[in-house]
């Protein structure tokens, strides 16, 4: 299975794994799965950290990035078409980071791992979502 972790899944997998569903934990632990993270999540982490809306324990965002890179996560860079065609996604969800993650998952035929129930509205657009 090829999956894209949303920002909460990415953070919680390191700092608060008990908040993840057993389904997501099982997917993350399965070595046969390719689990990606997006630049959108890194950008969201940086912004929320700078506004003191996010704690990474005793880590800085740079240290957390190093931990991500040392883990099983794979980097999925957003392609220019992922960004410029994002307007095609209906406005079910207004968070720009979640919208980009959903669109990246759709365009790259990945299952999005998320705790956000609102993203389920994008199933009609082809989003495969696991919560």
Q: What is the pLDDT along the chain (131 residues), one digit of tens a residue?
A: 999 999 999 999 999 999 999 999 999 999 999 999 999 999 999 999 999 999 999 999 999 999 999 999 999 998 999 999 999 999 888 899 999 999 999 999 999 999 999 999 999 999 999 99
* CA atoms within a 13 Å half-sphere pointing along the CA-CB vector of 48: 14
User: Which pLDDT belongs to residue 25?
Assistant: 98
> What burial letters (b/e) apply to 49-82, b meaning 16+ CB within 10 Å?
beeeebebeeeebeebbeebeeeebeebebeeeb
Cα dihedral: 37, 34, 28, 130 (round 10): 80
Tell me: the pLDDT tens digits for 100-114? 999 999 999 999 999
Share of the chain above pLDDT 70, in %: 100
- Give the count of beta carbons closer than 10 Å to the beta carbon of residue 32: 5
| CATH number attached to the domain at 2-130 | 3.40.50.1010
Q: Are 111 and 1 in contact (CB under 8 A)?
A: yes
> What is the model's pLDDT at position 93?
83
**Would you report the helix, strand and coil content of the chain in percent, each value rounded to 5?**
55, 15, 35
* Domain residue ranges in the chain: 2-130
pLDDT at 2: 98
């Amino acid at each position: 299975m090829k999956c894209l972790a949303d920002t909460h899944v990415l953070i919680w997998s390191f700092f608060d794994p008990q908040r993840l569903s057993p389904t997501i934990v099982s997917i993350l632990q399965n070595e046969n799965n390719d689990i990606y993270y997006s630049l959108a999540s890194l950008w969201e982490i940086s912004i929320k950290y700078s506004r003191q809306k996010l704690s990474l324990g005793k880590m800085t965002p740079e240290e957390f990035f190093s931990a991500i890179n040392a883990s099983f996560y794979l980097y999925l860079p957003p392609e220019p078409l992922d960004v410029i065609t994002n307007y095609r996604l209906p406005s079910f969800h207004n968070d720009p980071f979640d919208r980009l993650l959903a669109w990246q998952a759709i365009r790259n035929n990945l299952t999005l791992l998320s705790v956000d129930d609102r993203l389920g509205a994008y199933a009609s657009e082809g989003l495969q979502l696991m919560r």
